[in-house]
C-alpha cells in the first residue's frame, strides 16, 4: 500500500469572487495611476526637468519636501560663470512636482554670488 500524501492547502483562483491581487484586493484605480515617488527620485526629476527648461545644469538641490500634491524642491543653478568661481552668479529656483514627479511649476526666488553667505538679521 502506498502512503497517503499530506493534504495540501487548496489554491483559489485569483479571479474567484471578483478579486485580483494576492491579498484578495485589487488596488484602486487612483492608487495604480498616482503613486508618490520617493525623495531621491523626486530630486532627480526636479534637476533633470529644470535643466531642460533652463538649458543649464543645476549645481545642487538645497531642499526637498513633500507637499499634499507632490514635492517642492529648492534648486541652485549657476547663471553666470566667472573667475574666480566665488564671484559666479547663482540663482535659487523653487520647483513644484506632482506626485508622479512631473514638473508643474518653477520660479526663480533669489540671485546671489557663489561666495556670499546668508546673514542673520
φ, ψ (nearest 5 deg) of residue 43: -65, -45
pLDDT value at residue 90 = 96
* 66, 59 contact by CB (below 8 A): no
CA dihedral 78, 83, 86, 89 (to 10 degrees): -30
Tens digits of residue pLDDT in 84-102 = 999 999 999 999 999 999 9
DSSP letters spanning 90-118 = EEEEEEEEETTS-EEEEEEEEEEETT---
Give the whole-angstrom CA distance, residue 102 versus residue 37.
10
In sequence order, what are the beta bridge partners of 29? none
Least confident of 2-16, 31-45, 63-77: 2-16
Amino acid at each position: 500500500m502506498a502512503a497517503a500524501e499530506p493534504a495540501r492547502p487548496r489554491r483559489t483562483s485569483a479571479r474567484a469572487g471578483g478579486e485580483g491581487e494576492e491579498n484578495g484586493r485589487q488596488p484602486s484605480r487612483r492608487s495604480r495611476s498616482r503613486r508618490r515617488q520617493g525623495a531621491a527620485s523626486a530630486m532627480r526629476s526636479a534637476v533633470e526637468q529644470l535643466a531642460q527648461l533652463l538649458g543649464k545644469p543645476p549645481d545642487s538641490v538645497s531642499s526637498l519636501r513633500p507637499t499634499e500634491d507632490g514635492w517642492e524642491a529648492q534648486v541652485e543653478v549657476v547663471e553666470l560663470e566667472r573667475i574666480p568661481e566665488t564671484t559666479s552668479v547663482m540663482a535659487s529656483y523653487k520647483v513644484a512636482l506632482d506626485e508622479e514627479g512631473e514638473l508643474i511649476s518653477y520660479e526663480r526666488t533669489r540671485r546671489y554670488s557663489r561666495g556670499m553667505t546668508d546673514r542673520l538679521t
